[in-house]
A and B are shown apart, each in its own frame.
Chain A
Amino acid sequence: MDISLIHINIMPYHASSLPLVKLVNNGKVCAPRIRNLLGDREASITPKQTHPTSLRFSWRISSSFSSATESRPIMEDEMKKMERFDSDSAASLLKELRGTFASGKTKSYEWRVQQLKNMIKMIDDNERAIMEALQQDLAKPRFESFVSEISLTKAACNHALKELKHWMKPEKAKTAITTFPSSAEIVSEPFGIVLIISAWNYPFLLSLDPVVGAIAAGNSVVLKPSEISPATSSLLAKLLEDYLDSSAVRVVEGAVAETTALLEQKWDKILYTGNGKVGRIVMAAAAKHLTPVILELGGKSPVVVDSNVNLKVSARRIAAGKWGCNNGQACIAPDYIITTKAYAPTLIDGLKNILEEFFGKDPLESKDLSRIVNSNHFSRLAKLLDEDKVSGKIVHGGQRDETRLMIAPTILLDVPEDSLIMNEEIFGPLLPIITVDKVEDSFDIIKSRSKPLAAYLFTSSKKLEKEFVENISAGGMLINDTVVHLTNPSLPFGGVGESGIGSYHGKFSFDAFSHKKAVLYRSLYGDAPVRYPPYTPGKLRILRAILDGSIIGAILALIGFGKKKLE
């Protein structure tokens, strides 16, 4: 076997931890499992070329390695199998997981608890590595990583651990008079094998938060992290294999080809986080197998600002939601503001002040601002800014540094409705402000667009608040703040219309991955003959009374005094 030309991507952050290597054989990524075969022999690697996000090495397999490997034929075999993750690999992966699921192992309370505990341990043990991966993928500030990725994931685990026993209990249900005597309950059972396809902007949280739900509900899981955040993707592959039961929980890394191979399979549930275009592809693929889906998409989340608000607090909360969350690259980040013509200058001043407080005079140098994920997204955002009718509308910011993929917080005033920036999800640090005569006019603007994932309102008026909540449709709604509704496990998180299908978080995650099986227990005492043919008018009378809910009528009918005559 000639494996002398293997490229190994080594993420720099694990210099201190276990080696995390990705084998690339002739441009094809090998499955992470191969890593085990190499052990910790990365010491003999010599760098050849570097890459902005990962160091790429070419490595000639040293003779010491070859001789140390006694299981050469197995390795050759494994190499072949793992060269590309295609439909066949996906099918065999599923077959294996189906075996595990069929054994009933994942359904036990103990297994679920153990996996959730292991996940907490995994996060605690590897906090630094996680932060470093996020730093590498997105230059995400450590603080943000801790608060919005690590803590929220751990909180989800802890919440599930605390509530699981309660969630798993069958729910008693009332039974109808027609089935008397009987008892009924609703049993939560796992769907089976679920596929979770996650996104790059919160690559850790958006991968593991759904996995927590799937495990809590007793499913087998395959996680496909986003290839756009490669460091986190590799780290997840390694950590989940090390800490969780790999006979039931797996990570498949890769891009379009791998995702396509996965989507061809029959899953029992699919959760996808990302955009509407891919969401449609996922749902169409799921339709072939009648697989239920949860689609966590995005949309342009508006912020309506009334003129009677506490400016400092409002500006701060808007700025934190927009630029303090991955620099606008969050699905629930404020997308645009609607405020009155009169209040706009005040609000802009407030935002400017707070921006300086947050990120200093030169935000491009701030350590507290995430960068743009990659050059594709950078040029997409640049295009939004450079459009003729838009570029003149910048009232603050606008600086960018293409080499470091940084864009400063940017505020635009009164961009035209038909501009690009107002017609696609911005997903970056640009914040257009639309002005209206009366704040109520904002409702029509929001309603004329597709339903957003979140809608925000800042006001002191109870009346406006009530109208907003009643009239605006959105996945979720938050009054006088941004983004933090996401952290409340008693609220479902999910969209409506273009912003998604289904929801999760907390108990809703458990429910999202559980089939609610109705169970009715009846005894075998004799039945009233009314139920059976031959059917007579008298029987119709009794049945009508029962179904009408009139007990007296039923009794009267049974003893032959039907009040309601048969027409």
Chain B
Amino acid sequence: MTVAEFGLGERLGELRRTFQSGTTRSLAWRKAQLQALLNLVRDNEEQIFQVVHEDLGKHPVEAFRDESPLPLAFFPATAELLPEPLGVVLIFSCWNFPISLALEPLIGAISAGNAALIKPSEMAPACSSFLARVIPRYLDNKAIKVIEGGPETGAKLLEEKWDKIFFTGSPRVGRIIMSAAAKHLTPVTLELGGKCPVILDTRLSSSELEVAIKRIAWGKWGLCNGQSCVGVDYILVEEKFAPTLIDLLKKSIDQFYGRKAKDFKDLTRIVNRHHFERLHNLIKDPAVSDSIVHGGQVDKERMFIEPTILLDPPLEAEIMTEEIFGPFLPIITLKNIEESIEFVSSRPKPLVLYAFTKDETLKRLVLSRTSSGSVTFNDIAVQFMSDDLPFGGIGQSGLGKYHGKFSFEAFTHEKAVLRRNFIFDLESRYPPWSDFKLNFIRLLYKYDYFGIILLFLGLKG
């Protein structure tokens, strides 16, 4: 559906009218929509698995875990800080978690009482058309709409005035979104990515190490085969431990997926030709391909790439300067693990920093000397499931945060309301101003009540 077919102006007008009418502000409406959304996910679970599988070949468990958003009901109302919806919001979702990255922000937009237009990623076409098909069936079509399309649709949408734009994707497009938003002073939330490092401190028992490495392997290949913004990008480890690390990673790969690279039923394929080529090019550099210590096979036809481990690829190679977003896992070795702090803090701020350690000093260093969207100790990606923690980046990895009550806040204007009565009024507030009034106010600010009395008695100048 093109923008013209969609009748953008008209639809946007309808969204605006709906918002103006106040329908979306009522608690009943918000609850009904959230319930409908929940029904949508419940009723269409099987279909969600199917479309996700079609676009990404994701396994149902992975799809269920990542794609089914949890409802929330958070409607605070204090006398002084009144949360009010921003208006008509635009949500751009991303292809790697095509359902949840569209519905999660939508939950926030609805709970906050906004009207919303969703543009799912055209790179996951089955999911996109699924959303376009089912959302109107479940949700209030006057207030929530889906528009499908590619970059030209995106550009058309950005010309319009929105009250909030929520975008998940790359920093490059993030910049375009924010520049366009600037024209209308529209606030934005940008969920971007970056290279999420793992600092692996090996001062652990052997069973702990095994758990740690299993979690890392899962965090790399179990999350959409590396195509996740919170997935592991590379590992920092002490030189002497590298051989053991490689062995244990291989062991995890075997356990998860079996020995045959091409039969990865549980593994997600690369989303499209473009990304497949991009990834393939990363390892074409001879210096990089020489550093492959495991895997490296590709299936061009089915667009699968084998879980691949690289040892110390050149730091200036693209694989170490760009977000990998795929199944390559570089291991960077250091003399001692404290060097990892300098390594991380001298690069763009990542969305998540992972550190496996039991050492309190290292934990403190990680927290105080590096900056990232979030930090997770001793696990991968699980912070994403905690509704009580904000999710969002900093610097290159994004702007703004969401999840749980933070989603609600992302789509809310907190209106400051102060009520006064007509009774108490200080003369000193008003002109004409005299030294007497100035002194009075000065004393008042100092809480010098004795001075105030003296002043009134004329005993103080």
Contacts and interface: CB of A to CB of B under 8 A. Distances in A.
Given A176-B387, A479-B420, A497 B377 contact: no
A179 B388 CA distance: 12
B81 A491 contact: yes
A284 B179 CA distance: 5
A12 to B, nearest CB: 22
Interface string A516-547: 11111111111100011111000110011001
A283 B171 contact: no
B222 A520 contact: no
B257 A534 contact: yes
Contact of B422 (A283, A292, A309): A309
A189 interface: yes
A286 B382 contact: no
Interface in A300-325: 309-310, 313-314, 316-317, 319-320, 323-324
Given A173-B389, A515-B394, A292 B400 contact: yes
Contact of B418 (A142, A143, A488, A520): A488
Most buried by A among B204, B372, B400, B429: B429
Given A515-B394, A521-B378, A283 B185 contact: yes
A478 B418 contact: yes
Nearest to A180: B382
Contacts of B212: 524
A178 B382 contact: yes
Nearest to B396: A290
Interface stretch (B27-35, B63-71, B288-296): B63-71
B402 to A, nearest CB: 11
A477 interface: yes
A464 B447 CA distance: 36
A330 to B, nearest CB: 15
Contact of A496 (B62, B388, B413, B432): B413
Contact of A143 (B25, B383, B433): B433
Contact of B222 (A280, A522, A525, A533): A533
Contact of A179 (B70, B84, B386): B386
Interface string A433-451: 0000000000000010000
B368 A104 contact: yes
A461 interface: no
A295 B181 CA distance: 13
B414 A503 contact: yes
A469 B371 contact: no
B323 interface: no
Interface string A95-109: 000000010100100
Most buried by B among A143, A469, A500, A533: A533
Nearest to B434: A143
B418 A491 contact: yes
Given A187-B367, A314-B422, A532-B255, A524 B208 contact: yes
Contacts of B59: 533, 535
A368 interface: yes
Nearest to B253: A533
Interface string B347-359: 0000000001010
Interface in B199-236: 204, 207-208, 211-212, 214-215, 218, 222
Given A533-B222, A534-B266, A290 B420 contact: no
Nearest to B376: A520
Interface stretch (B142-150, B297-305, B435-443): B435-443
A540 B64 contact: yes
B186 to A, nearest CB: 8
* Interface majority SS (helix, strand, loop, mixed), chain B: mixed
Interface stretch (A113-121, A144-152, A242-250, A412-420): A144-152
Contacts of B87: 497
* Interface majority SS (helix, strand, loop, mixed), chain A: mixed
Nearest to B183: A280
B138 interface: no
Most buried by A among B70, B215, B218, B374: B374
A325 to B, nearest CB: 10
A403 B305 CA distance: 77
A493 interface: yes
Contacts of B430: 316, 319-320, 324, 357-358
A290 B256 contact: no
Given A496-B413, A525-B211, A485 B356 contact: no
A155 interface: yes
Contacts, number: 285
A520 B377 contact: yes
Given A284-B182, A532-B218, A182 B382 contact: yes
A358 B431 contact: yes
Contact of B376 (A297, A478, A522): A522
B417 interface: yes
A216 to B, nearest CB: 17
Contacts of B256: 532-534
A276 interface: yes
Interface string A458-493: 001000010001110111111111001100101111
Contacts of B345: 102
A333 to B, nearest CB: 14
A359 interface: yes
Contact of A173 (B175, B215, B267, B386): B386
Contact of B432 (A359, A525, A527): A359
Contacts of B386: 173-176, 178-179, 184, 518, 520
A151 B376 CA distance: 43
Contact of B383 (A102, A147, A320, A520): A520
A186 B386 CA distance: 12
B3 interface: no
B207 to A, nearest CB: 8
B162 to A, nearest CB: 11
B416 interface: yes
Contact of B388 (A173, A281, A498): A173
B445 A368 contact: no
B416 A491 contact: yes
A342 B81 CA distance: 34
Given A366-B432, A476-B416, A534-B257, A501 B185 contact: yes
Contacts of B171: 290
A492 B222 contact: no
B81 to A, nearest CB: 7
A173 B413 CA distance: 23
Interface string A268-295: 1000000010011101101110111001
Contacts of A176: 385-388
Contacts of B125: none
B20 to A, nearest CB: 7
Given A313-B425, A501-B185, A533-B256, A360 B64 contact: no
B178 A283 contact: yes
B422 A475 contact: no
B395 A543 contact: no
A543 B378 contact: no
Contacts of A547: 64-65, 68, 70
B419 A479 contact: yes
A191 interface: yes
16 contacts: A143-B434, A173-B386, A281-B182, A290-B396, A475-B416, A476-B417, A477-B416, A477-B418, A480-B420, A484-B420, A497-B163, A503-B414, A517-B373, A518-B391, A521-B378, A535-B60
Interface of A: 102, 104, 107, 141-144, 146-147, 151, 154-155, 173-176, 178-179, 182, 184, 186-187, 189, 191-192, 268, 276, 279-281, 283-284, 286-288, 290-292, 295, 297, 309-310, 313-314, 316-317, 319-320, 323-324, 357-360, 366-369, 447, 460, 465, 469-471, 473-481, 484-485, 488, 490-493, 496-498, 500-503, 515-527, 531-535, 539-540, 543-544, 547, 549, 567
